[in-house]
Amino acid sequence: MTPWGNNPASATVFKNLCYGWGAKLTPQEVADKVNHFFKYYSISRQKMTVLTLSYHTESYLPEDNWFDLRQFLYNARWPYQFQKIDDLVHELDDDRVHLGESSALDKLGDASHGGGGMGVVAAGSGNPNVGL
């Protein structure tokens, strides 16, 4: 299981990072970072498959990569995924225009102020209402 859940698709990563970084970065900035990561991940993924057998002969290796069945050749342009991210950015920008002065924190359901909403406030997060 990855930090993004069972589906580490680029659009899912974008949604989760928008939720986590929404107060600091615009959706376009998050999209640029996600697109950059997945572009260079797809370019470099094949390099993980070229280890020679000598690197696999040690008996203490916790994982020998013999059974790594992940795809290793990707289309570095990610046309469908990047278009989906662009559509999501456009939707978020449209929401911002229609909502006027509401910020990304308002969209999170006021969870950062200890009220209801989505998510759980972490202990030690700097929120004085934690634990009340």
More reliable by pLDDT, 114 or 122:
122
Phi, psi for 39 (deg, rounded to 5): -65, -50
Q: CA-to-CA distance for 70 and 123, rounded, in angstroms?
A: 37
pLDDT digits (tens, 9 = 90+) for 31-70: 999 999 999 988 888 777 766 555 555 566 566 556 666 7
Beta-ladder partners of 132: none
Number of domains within the chain: 1
What residue type is 124 in one-letter code? G
Domain contains 125: no
Q: Of 63, 70, 62, 82, which Cα lies nearest the Cα of 46?
A: 70
Residue 117 lies in a domain: no
Query: Is 111 contained in some domain?
Result: no
74 lies in a domain?
Answer: yes
pLDDT for res 70: 72
Asked if residue 117 lies in contact with residue 111, where contact means CB atoms within 8 angstroms, the answer is yes
Q: Which amino acid is at 110?
A: D
Domain that holds residue 31: 1-51+69-100
**88: its two tokens:** 């999501």
Q: Does residue 123 lie within any of the structural domains? A: no
